[in-house]
Amino acid sequence: MTSLFDPYDLGPVRLKSRIVMPPMTRTRTTEGDLPTDGDVPNALMATYYGQRASAGLIISEVNDVDQSSHGYARVPGIHSEAQVRGWRVVTDEVHRRGGTIFMQLWHVGRLAHSSILPNGQAPVGATAERAEGSEVFAHGPDGRLRFMPVDTPRALGTEEVSAMVRTFANAAANARRAGFDGVEIHAANGYLIEQFMNSVLNTRTDRYGGSLENRTRFLMEIVDAVVAEFGPGRVGVRLSPFGKYGSMPADPLTEETFLYVVEQLGRRGVAYVHLLYELLPDGNMESAEFKPRYLDHAMLAKARAKFPGAFIWCGGFTDRARAEASLDTGLVDLIAFGRPYIANPDLSERLRNGWPLAVADRSTYYTRNGEVGYTDFPAYSNDRAVGKAA
């Protein structure tokens, strides 16, 4: 039986356990002094991540690679010096407390709204097809932040796609300067990279569209550039085959694409593939339950045979028994616990000792209320010491 508390060698990085804190947007950034600074990480975020440093691996909330990738207000980025400095405070605190932290990088592509893009410009996408029915957190007509239907994107030109690869490489270089141990490329959930991979959505006729090789070229070029920056073993990729989030059309070539992608990622020195596979068919992640049929074990076994690195499985885990049973299938190596990390900074210790888990209040997931519902959850042992045990 594999224990969640067995260490794991992720490339050159030794993780102290199999427990991963996956990326979660928490909207506690500070507005930069200049519009080009973007939304900036701060000392409160250093406290939050530092409190969670006993995880085997922390993957940060998602980060914009440039200003055009800002799909959701208050999501941080890694394209300005202010952001590099802000994140440095976070990584220093995590390292001081013995943790390991990767940064998640994205470009939202068409899942964006002009109200939070520079100069009110249109979003950019693999094509000019709007994500009908999708919404992002942006300014409404009254100037207030709320969920808004996404705008129609402009298709990136061929040379712009190549330039975007360099933008990812630059973001990875910044992440390295900010002290991260590695990066995760967000190639899931209907954002820009997945927009290229989907054979129905991607109707491009240049070298980034058409054949399997062409549709996955954008991701592979990014991976090569980012691995060159960080070195093999320090780059992960998040994928969501069969996910419908972001109005992704059902793709009859999903299996073929997924298996080709994991094989190519393995050849390119990618450390892990991170799978979230409990998205409901309607794309609703919030109410998602464990639904293995959307990526069944047989498919995962095929993927595993093609990829020598680790698989991280994220999907509604809340307890040690199910996590360890999943490790015992031999199909995955690391287990991500998302929501439980919100209210349990010491989740590792709680799982190890069988202590009860605290439950977060959804209304504080994404707020500007600073520490409320963010850094004010006590560790269980402290909690007990002051007589407030659940």
| Positions that interact with ligand PHB (CB under 6 A) | 25, 62, 72, 75, 189, 245
Whether residue 186 contacts residue 236, with contact meaning beta carbons closer than 8 Å, is answered with no
C-alpha dist (Å) from residue 192 to 111, 164, 302, 308, 333: 8, 10, 26, 26, 27
Please give the helix or strand (H or E) that residue 380 lies within, else none.
helix 380-385
- Closer residue to ligand PHB, CB minimum distance, 8 or 337: 337
H/E/C letters for each residue in 247-294?
A: CCCCCCCHHHHHHHHHHHHHHCCCCEEEEECCCCCCCCCCCCCCCHHH
- Closer residue to ligand PHB, CB minimum distance, 168 or 245: 245
- Closer residue to ligand PHB, CB minimum distance, 171 or 327: 171
- State the nearest-atom distance from the C-beta of 247 to ligand PHB, in Å: 12
- Closer residue to ligand PHB, CB minimum distance, 215 or 238: 238
- State the nearest-atom distance from the C-beta of 326 to ligand PHB, in Å: 21
Q: Which residues are catalytic?
A: 191
* Amino acid identity, position 325: A
Helix axes 297-306, 254-267, angle to 10 degrees: 30
3-state secondary structure of 32: coil
Take residue 230 and report the two structure tokens written for it: 């960080």
C-alpha dist (Å) from residue 325 to 146, 195, 321, 341, 385: 40, 34, 6, 20, 32
By C-alpha distance, which of 29, 31, 24, 118 is closest to 70? 118
- Closer residue to ligand PHB, CB minimum distance, 112 or 327: 112
- State the nearest-atom distance from the C-beta of 189 to ligand PHB, in Å: 4
- State the nearest-atom distance from the C-beta of 118 to ligand PHB, in Å: 19
- State the nearest-atom distance from the C-beta of 62 to ligand PHB, in Å: 5
